[in-house]
Structure 1
Amino acid sequence: MTDRCAPDEILGLDSNTFKDLEIFEAGAGQASLFDFCNQSRTEGGAAVLRRRMEQPWSTAVRIRSTQESVTFIATHPQVFSKLPSAYVIVSTEAYMREILPAVDYRNPLEFALGALQMWTNQDSHYFSIVRGVQATARMIRALRAFLVQPGLASLRGELVPLIREMRSLLRRPHMARVPDQEIGHWGMWRMLRLDQVLRTQEKNTVTRLLELVYEIDALFAIAEATRKHGFNMPVIEQGLPRVDVEGLVHPYLERPVANPVALNQDQRVLFLTGPNMAGKTTYLRAFATALYLAQLGMGVPATSFRFVPVQWLFSSISLSDDLRQGVSYFRAEALRVKAVAQAVTDGHKVVALMDEPFKGTNVKDAFDASLAILERLSARENCLFMFSSHHIELRDHLHVANGQVDCRYFEAEETAGRLRFDYRLRSGISEQRLGMRVLREEGIFELLDALPTPVDNHTPGAATVES
């Protein structure tokens, strides 16, 4: 962004969370969240959008400023249709970037001689300069027309300083030499004089105007993604961390089932149970994705979303070991929990999601570790947690958490002898165990039982044939 801010205004995200939420990389043939949101019209705008998505906001002031701009753009689309076209922007950028000779004499006679020399000896460069000057002049004229629109009078949020700076740059004395009409009929002398203005005297000005256009284009992309996907703008609240959501869905699903989320200081931990395939991981990802988008300043895939911004978002869904570094799966899990613990200990406001942690150790260690972590996390005022697990026996011990743990579950229903998942969040703890059931339904045991019995040719007493 134009005044990229202090680290304490940026939401903390690590590589594992970027991976879990597929923010920039997804599976083969799948779109990333960046692809999902990238409605920008220029490559420069896409680059700014990427930078924003690498560093979402962590403060209510910054998030609200982006929200106000996104909402303004969404309600005034006709105003922003007046911005320079992508073709003009690309042509101007190429002109600014290309290494071309310049006639930069101030003395009129020297300038005339230099212009004549370029015309006679470097005609290919001259025509490249003409195309660049024409494109840049079109961009400047389009920006002037854009800035005088009455619709910009009620500007809000991040757009205010962007538009103010753009107006200031266009008022610079040399920029007034760019005419308000087409310059295709101009002769060599006038064309090279304007090239002198644009590439020598005001090159930094033109470059900065391009940067401002890209900033606006990135905000436009966020607004367009919010509109296109039918997202709703979150409501920012004050106080200790809490999130209250209705109608949450994962944005990638074609026919999603909506569910609520309620995390607050009375119930800081959501303890999630249920069989595999019932929807636990999708629910965790849906919530983390929505919170991430909310802190980015855009709409979210929920009917309502009220939240207090946090400083760190951790997701532990798709951990793996690291053979090169000698890190086992369980140690990777332990290091992940340690990263969360460090952020909590440092006093940051944290939201952390742990999907079936401690799978890399034995059942007893996993149970003890889960209970110990739940006890400690639930006591942290500045933090909110989602913790999914197959250890339903933890229910008998969760009373030690002083009521700070909210138990929810997903479950399967049996219809005509087959399992059906409705993906509805329920209150309580699931006791449903489907592992053996799924193996039987897939006919795995029948396949194994049908294997022929191996013949032992070395049974004592058996005849031996010698060659």
Structure 2
Amino acid sequence: MRTTLYILCCLLIITGCKKNDEYLPPNFNYPIPQVNITENVNVGAYFYNYTAADWSKGISDTPLLGNYNALNVATMDQERKWADSAGVDFFIFNWNGASAGDPILNSFAGERSSNVKMVINYNTAHINASNASPVTGAKLATLIREFKSLSASHFNKDYYYKIDGQPVVLITPLNLASSKAASIDYPAVMAALRCEPVQAHLRQVRAIFDHKRLQWLNEVVDLTHIPLSKLVQYDHQLRTGCRKEMKALTEIIYLFDVYIAVANVARTKQLCYARALPKLENVMRIAGLFHPSLEQAVPNHISFTTESNVAFLTGANMAGKSTFMKSFGIAVYLSHMGFPVAAGKMEFSVKDGLFSTINVPDSLEHGYSHFYAEVLRVKRVAEEVGASKDLVVIFDELFKGTNVKDAFDATLAITSAFSAHTNSFFIISSHIIEVGEALRERGGSYQFLYLPTIMEGNVPRYTYRLTTGITGDRHGMIIIENEGLIELIRKRE
């Protein structure tokens, strides 16, 4: 937790202020007092890209770096070092439309030698926006186009500063004027940005129907009494003459059908949209995870990091291990598709693939036993992991197709070997709880989880609530006895 807030005066270079400005001291070099804080905060510093032209304006004070050029690599490197030592999280770079290819942004992005990240200050001056001249029409189109360009160039990169996976963007001037007409209604702007994907489809639909080849549709008044000859003519025009337009139109209808269906399922099932994070963060956090096909499902939490990339899962039969792993796999798969997931909240670093060995079948065609099919599946995962791919891997009861001794040795060896690949995340379940004990003794990037069973007399009750630790439950024989299997076998006619 950062207990002291520092700001580097060498980075806060402000121009265009009068000598007696009430907000700034008259001297460029002035001390900034230490400010005590009680909780962690995010600290940024405005980066002004001074060049030789700026120093010729008669600035009396001289910075520590002299009359520097901000585009100089050594200058940028030194300023990053100062920022790192002071705990600055990000530099704020001005962007005003004309600087779309600003070399200062590219210079910062090209040299990654510190923890300082980028924040862009989007200056709206170049689109001349106010409530009297609102951000609509061509202005909105410009803003959207520029934000898309910035997103592709910077917002989605690992060097860009984000909070909860979302890029931080400053917008100035804020135009908090006393006159409402001189201000900008930013909530309206944000609403327009959010609706842009839908509006783009609607504009495409309007363009299709405004085409001259479809103007005859405006002449059709009575759709209930169309002569057969006209019906044939219209059918030919739509199917043949306007085939390209109709194909585009049906694709848009299909998209809206998917959008509406997904939204309805998400609302009905109370699903959430996951936040995608850069690969380099290497995290996955899911709160309130549940299986989307179960009514009144018990939610669970799970997280992975570089330091804790293997979850070793234990629990009795019917405790819910397989269901939990299926829930996890479904969430990982859907989140990477951009679909809503069955969870209260989820954020994840994007991975290269998902592998699972739940219900691996044997193969009569290839002559593979269940055990050999498992071995081949693990081999495939090992090849992908060995190729430095970032994966999510789910192994349900590894090597259950062989004897207990071999299963113990193989599970222990394979789990231990996979744990070294900290860029990938693994859930490995097993009934052989001794493997978990051996892994815990060795130490490593493991987390041990189990699904408990509560015995009420001879009747097991399952909480389905993920718990930290290794289970000690062994209730297989109790279930067999409760079902009366032994008595049924021994019973004589």
TM range (shorter): 0.5 to 0.7
Choose which of 251, 258, 271 in structure 2 pairs with 1:218.
258
Choose which of 172, 182, 192 in structure 1 pairs with 2:211.
172
* Equivalences, count: 305
Q: C-alpha distance in 2, partners of 1:450/1:217?
A: 59
Q: C-alpha distance in 1, partners of 2:317/2:210?
A: 63
Give per-residue Cα distances to partners, 1:263-310, cap 9 Å, x unaligned.
221110100011111111111111111222222322222111121222
Q: RCO higher in 1 or 2 (8 Å CA, sep ≥ 6)? A: 1
Give per-residue Cα distances to partners, 1:158-212, cap 9 Å, x unaligned.
5465444334333322123321652446667766665554333222212221122
Instruction: Determine if the alignment matches structure 1 residue 293 to structure 2 residue 334.
Output: yes
Q: C-alpha distance in 2, partners of 1:191/1:253?
A: 49
Q: C-alpha distance in 2, partners of 1:191/1:332?
A: 60
CA contact (8 A) 2:289 2:299 kept: yes
CA contact (8 A) 1:245 1:260 kept: yes
Give per-residue Cα distances to partners, 1:211-268, cap 9 Å, x unaligned.
2211221122111111121212222222343221111111222222111111221110
**Which one is further off, 188-197 or 273-282?**
188-197
Q: Which amino acid aligns with 1:317?
A: I
Relative to the length of structure 1, the TM-score reads: 0.60
Instruction: Determine if the alignment matches structure 1 residue 426 to structure 2 residue 467.
Output: yes
Q: C-alpha distance in 2, partners of 1:236/1:279?
A: 28
Q: C-alpha distance in 1, partners of 2:274/2:196?
A: 16
Q: C-alpha distance in 2, partners of 1:249/1:338?
A: 30
CA contact (8 A) 1:234 1:306 kept: yes
Q: CA deviation at 1:384?
A: 0.6
CA contact (8 A) 1:231 1:300 kept: yes
Instruction: Determine if the alignment matches structure 1 residue 277 to structure 2 residue 289.
Output: no
Q: In 2 relative to 1, CA 401–376 (structure 1 residues): closer, same or farther, beyond 3 Å? A: farther
SS in 2 for 1:305: strand
Which position in structure 2 is the counterpart of 1:343?
384
Q: Which amino acid aligns with 2:344?
A: T
CA contact (8 A) 2:310 2:428 kept: yes
Q: Which amino acid aligns with 2:214?
A: M
Which position in structure 2 is the counterpart of 1:247?
288
Q: C-alpha distance in 1, partners of 2:431/2:227?
A: 78
Which position in structure 2 is the counterpart of 1:263?
304
**Which one is further off, 160-169 or 339-348?**
160-169
Q: C-alpha distance in 2, partners of 1:431/1:410?
A: 10
Choose which of 349, 352, 356 in structure 2 pairs with 1:311.
352
Q: In 2 relative to 1, CA 179–275 (structure 1 residues): closer, same or farther, beyond 3 Å? A: same
Instruction: Determine if the alignment matches structure 1 residue 407 to structure 2 residue 448.
Output: yes
Q: Which amino acid aligns with 2:239?
A: R
Instruction: Determine if the alignment matches structure 1 residue 228 to structure 2 residue 306.
Output: no
Give per-residue Cα distances to partners, 1:27-74, cap 9 Å, x unaligned.
xxxxxxxxxxxxxxxxxxxxxxxxxxxxxxxxx97xxxxxxxxxxxxx
Q: C-alpha distance in 2, partners of 1:187/1:296?
A: 47
CA contact (8 A) 2:312 2:436 kept: no
Q: Give the superposed CA RMSD.
A: 2.9
**Which one is further off, 182-191 or 425-434?**
182-191
Q: CA deviation at 1:401?
A: 6.5
Stretches of structure 2 that go unaligned for 5 or more consecutive residues are 1-154, 157-189
CA contact (8 A) 2:310 2:426 kept: yes
**Which one is further off, 239-248 or 261-270?**
239-248
CA contact (8 A) 2:352 2:390 kept: yes
Q: Which amino acid aligns with 1:169?
A: I
**Which one is further off, 229-238 or 270-279?**
229-238
Choose which of 393, 398, 415 in structure 2 pairs with 1:352.
393
**Which one is further off, 319-328 or 401-410?**
401-410
Q: C-alpha distance in 2, partners of 1:277/1:187?
A: 66
Which position in structure 1 is the counterpart of 2:68?
none
Alignment of 1:85-164 (within 5 A): 154-156=193-195, 159=198, 161-164=200-203
Relative to the length of structure 2, the TM-score reads: 0.57
CA contact (8 A) 2:374 2:399 kept: yes
SS in 2 for 1:261: strand
Instruction: Determine if the alignment matches structure 1 residue 397 to structure 2 residue 438.
Output: yes
Q: C-alpha distance in 2, partners of 1:440/1:187?
A: 77
Q: C-alpha distance in 2, partners of 1:167/1:153?
A: 18
Q: Which amino acid aligns with 2:257?
A: D
SS in 2 for 1:265: coil
CA contact (8 A) 1:375 1:401 kept: no
Q: Which amino acid aligns with 1:233?
A: Y
SS in 2 for 1:397: helix
SS in 2 for 1:407: strand
Alignment of 1:189-228 (within 5 A): 194-195=234-235, 197-228=237-268
Which position in structure 2 is the counterpart of 1:380?
421
